[in-house]
Structure 1
Amino acid sequence: MPHPEHPGQSTSPRRPDEANPALDFRAFVEQLLAEGDAVAVEQTVDPHLEVGAVTRRAYELAAPAPLFTSLAGAEPGFRILGAPAGMSSGRLGEYGRIARHLGLPRTAGPRDILERLVAAMHANPVEPVVVPTGPCRQNVRAGDEVDLEKFPVPLLHQEDGGRYFGTYGFHIVRSPDGEWTSWSVARTMLRDRTTLVGPAMPQQHIGMIHEMWRQRGEHTPWAMVLGAPPAALAAAGMPLPERVSEDGYVGALAGGPVE
């Protein structure tokens, strides 16, 4: 995440849901650190292959999620969290990191997690709450200031075609009539300082909405979210039907509406 313009200050007030890690990514990271299911890696690590190698090893060993706090070539304040939804050691609850995405206790098992997801899919949507500002407004770059290459985007595997900016985030697109907002999880690759590339396959919801805009002769308005509430990321991956918006299902997963 980019460092704030004025360290120690915030441009938005503390939100009531910050105590719920399923609805606040920073609280989620702090919870994992406090529980010993994440560890801060303060030694400088290179985003070029080294971050990917350490993260892969953490997956293999069911080790705590590595939070890289010093990245070669990056400005201070940028961080990368590896294995955010990886398995944990038995002492910490094997599925504890995944369970925390949904607001479940660390002792939750696969059946508990699956039942929560199924129940949320059949529950009445809880509409999101619109707020005037938030942490996503803390650092803003527009116009000529935009430079995606300032981010420590990692090359995760030697044979990858490029550096993936988005692996643990989701896309947001909305139909031209405003009736359908789709969240979807898909990788996004860095192309240059102002361009990312990613899939928009016609059989997927993002591709369907893209086609709606194409038929109007217009570009598709699009956003990508990184550092999202963990429950929102889970909702973005739910197999919901066409023309059903994911945002209303976050509350059913986490017990409260997403802001």
Structure 2
Amino acid sequence: MTYTHLSQCLDDLERHGQLVRIDQEIDPHLEMGAIQRRVFQAGGPALLFTRVKGCSFPMAGNIFGTVDRIRFIFRKTLPRVRRVLAAKADPSVLLKRPWQVPSLALAAYHALPRKVFTGPILEHETTLSDLPQLVSWPMDGGPYVTLPQVYTHSPQRPGMRFSNMGMYRVQLAGNEFVPNKEVGLHYQICRGIGVHHAEAIEKSQALRVNIFVGGPPAMTLAAIMPLPENLPELFFAGMLAGHRIPMVTRSGHLPMPAQADFCISGIVDPHAQKPEGPFGDHLGYYSLTHPFPVLKVTSVLHRPHAIWPFTTVGRPPQEDTIFGTFIHELTRDLVPTVFSGIHQVHAVDAAGVHPLLLALGSERYVPYAPVRKPRELVTNGLALLGSTQTSLAKYLFIAAREDDLSLSCHHVPAFFRHVLERLDPTRDLHFVTKTTMDTLDYSGTGLNEGSKVMWTVAGPPVNRLATQLPTRFHLPGAFTNPRVFEPGMLVIQGPRHQLPRDTADPLVDVLCNTLQSQGDDFGFPLLVIVDDPDFTTRTWDNFLWVTFTRSDPATDIYGVGSFIRCKHWGCTGPVIIDARIKSFHAPLLDPDPAIEKKVDALGAPGGPLHGII
């Protein structure tokens, strides 16, 4: 079955036992987000909240809460989309399977939007304050749209052919926004809307923006797809939806999906900014208040019986984790066509996606060399850090596929063990400093600023990975509680961090000198300093989250026997990552205990979530 609008999808999920209605009144301020997160963690169904406190519109959450449910929603069109992507990855497939050509032609036809003169979205108008006011976390700066489809045209090449549609944060109220007149538009670096905004600034003209909510589920998925700049997300949505997306245009406005549930229209003045945030984000911390573009709203439209879809984000895994898993499933065969020499990539969700990227590449530059060492891998790594969404990676670990054909960068423990067995810290770490980094990452030297590092390994194992501390091992007084996490990986507790941003810690230098006095090789190529070793070593997810969200490579990587030679940094002994919470880091996301008790009551016998959470 294909869906032209959201209600069809929700009705279908309900018929198949994959949606639960909650008919008692639920507050969108904290309570609804907490419910959605708990049901997601339990692997539960989609949720339809029919009585939303303070709002006449129903809300739907956890729609995309499992990969199986996404596959179910797109069960009719996924085989065709997969064939299109397979043909993109290997065009010779059309010669091998010519009977697939008509199916691919139909997919291409569905990709083209269809212009219409009217549609349900034009039937009703409302105000920003009458929309659902979802607040997910206690310190959020106001209500947010959490599944928006933010749509713009290129000012230099207007039209749907050069449109962009992305899922950028939209703050509906709070801070300095004029009530019912303005919303905050927070987009991170390396996003398509930024290109359009830059063009508008260059031409000194306002940028028109439409924010769609709901509509065909394919529109939501398309808004988060990492597509090439020459392929509009709107076109991909048509392929995934299995029909041409009908787009209706009002005079003086951008097109909008005729079947959208809501559309917020407005303009961004070239240089207008206002404070936006804070907001509980997908790294597991709050992103704080900063100036971002402000959208001056000209209209808020909705279809009859409109439903407001939403999600909440927080420390992974969350519903956006499922989006990432599904996208990888769709696009994994395209990786070698985008990055020559790269066979596999994994943006690690447990580490907040952008902080940690694992990759498998080829090392073929000098096949006759008596010693294999990273050469092509460095080129491949620079390509990953130089284009598309992988350019936001902060830590890149890249290994040569030829050294172990069974290795997968999706098997994280095995991948780390492979890397540490082969790491030569005198040559294999490559830093990029004073560069851009993810807008949501507060570990760097400033907003959007920080560093990156590549760990490149090739060749046979050269390190013995220990599982026990040597008898001679000891730490200086400021550091305590050493824990062996995995072979070759040691976690220790450090003192509370109290230094300013962009400052190395002399206490860690003392640690390095103490370890060097005990000999360079004690079987632990990687040592991580944390605030709480018990928590960090409890699970791999905890280790990845702590280590890679709380450190900036150039500031927080140290080494035993470190040196700089011809501008290259290296060390002779273990690499040390300082992953303590820094004095300047954003606050952690902590749920409201009173709200959690309310959610517990919904899961008690007789409650609508009994047996689900």
TM-score using structure 2 length: 0.34
- The answer to whether residue 134 in structure 2 is matched with residue 154 in structure 1 is yes
Query: How many residues of Structure 1 are paired with residues of Structure 2 in the alignment?
Result: 220
Q: Which runs of 4+ in 1 moved over 3 A?
A: 112-125
Structure 2 partner of 1:128: 113
| Aligned residues of 2:214 and 2:220 also touching (Cα < 8 A) | no
Q: Please give the residue correspondences for 1:6-45 in structure 2 after superposition, counting only pairs within 5 Å.
A: 20-21=2-3, 23-45=4-26
C-alpha spacing 1:101/1:213, structure 2 compared with 1 (3 Å) = farther
Amino acid at match of 1:186: Y
- The answer to whether residue 237 in structure 2 is matched with residue 250 in structure 1 is yes
Quote the sequence identity (%): 28
| Aligned residues of 2:2 and 2:242 also touching (Cα < 8 A) | no
Structure 1 partner of 2:64: 85
C-alpha spacing 1:113/1:46, structure 2 compared with 1 (3 Å) = farther
Deviation, structure 1 residue 138: 2.1
1: CA distance, partners of 2:138 / 2:40: 18
- The answer to whether residue 111 in structure 2 is matched with residue 139 in structure 1 is no
C-alpha spacing 1:236/1:121, structure 2 compared with 1 (3 Å) = farther
Deviation, structure 1 residue 102: 2.6
Deviation, structure 1 residue 174: 0.1
- The answer to whether residue 144 in structure 2 is matched with residue 171 in structure 1 is no
Q: 1:98 aligns with which of 54, 59, 70?
A: 70
C-alpha spacing 1:119/1:219, structure 2 compared with 1 (3 Å) = farther
Structure 2 partner of 1:184: 166
- Residues 59-92 of structure 1, C-alpha deviations (whole Å, 9 max, x = no match): 01111111111011223xx1111111102xxxxx
C-alpha spacing 1:137/1:190, structure 2 compared with 1 (3 Å) = same
Q: Which structure's CA Rg is the greater one?
A: 2
2: CA distance, partners of 1:69 / 1:236: 26
Amino acid at match of 1:227: G
1: CA distance, partners of 2:167 / 2:61: 17
**SS across alignment from 1:133:** coil
1: CA distance, partners of 2:73 / 2:200: 33
| Aligned residues of 1:127 and 1:251 also touching (Cα < 8 A) | yes
Q: 2:51 aligns with which of 44, 54, 70?
A: 70
Deviation, structure 1 residue 213: 0.8
| Aligned residues of 1:200 and 1:210 also touching (Cα < 8 A) | no
Amino acid at match of 1:36: G
Q: 1:218 aligns with which of 196, 205, 214?
A: 205
Structure 2 partner of 1:52: 33
Amino acid at match of 1:222: V
Structure 1 partner of 2:289: none
**SS across alignment from 1:66:** strand
**SS across alignment from 1:244:** coil
Amino acid at match of 2:50: T
C-alpha spacing 1:103/1:254, structure 2 compared with 1 (3 Å) = farther
TM-score using structure 1 length: 0.76
**SS across alignment from 1:44:** coil
| Aligned residues of 2:165 and 2:223 also touching (Cα < 8 A) | yes
The RMSD of aligned alpha carbons is 2.6
Q: Flag the structure with higher strand content.
A: 2
Q: Which has the higher contact order (CA 8 A, sep 6+)?
A: 1
**SS across alignment from 1:198:** strand
Deviation, structure 1 residue 155: 0.7
C-alpha spacing 1:46/1:83, structure 2 compared with 1 (3 Å) = same
C-alpha spacing 1:221/1:100, structure 2 compared with 1 (3 Å) = farther
| Aligned residues of 1:117 and 1:253 also touching (Cα < 8 A) | no
**SS across alignment from 1:221:** strand
- Residues 9-49 of structure 1, C-alpha deviations (whole Å, 9 max, x = no match): xxxxxxxxxx622x321111111111111111110011111
**SS across alignment from 1:67:** strand
| Aligned residues of 2:81 and 2:240 also touching (Cα < 8 A) | no
2: CA distance, partners of 1:120 / 1:254: 19
C-alpha spacing 1:96/1:121, structure 2 compared with 1 (3 Å) = farther
2: CA distance, partners of 1:32 / 1:130: 29
- Residues 88-144 of structure 1, C-alpha deviations (whole Å, 9 max, x = no match): xxxxxxx33212443449xx9xxx799478459776462111122222112124xxx
- Residues 132-170 of structure 1, C-alpha deviations (whole Å, 9 max, x = no match): 2222112124xxxxx311112111112323211x21221
C-alpha spacing 1:114/1:66, structure 2 compared with 1 (3 Å) = same
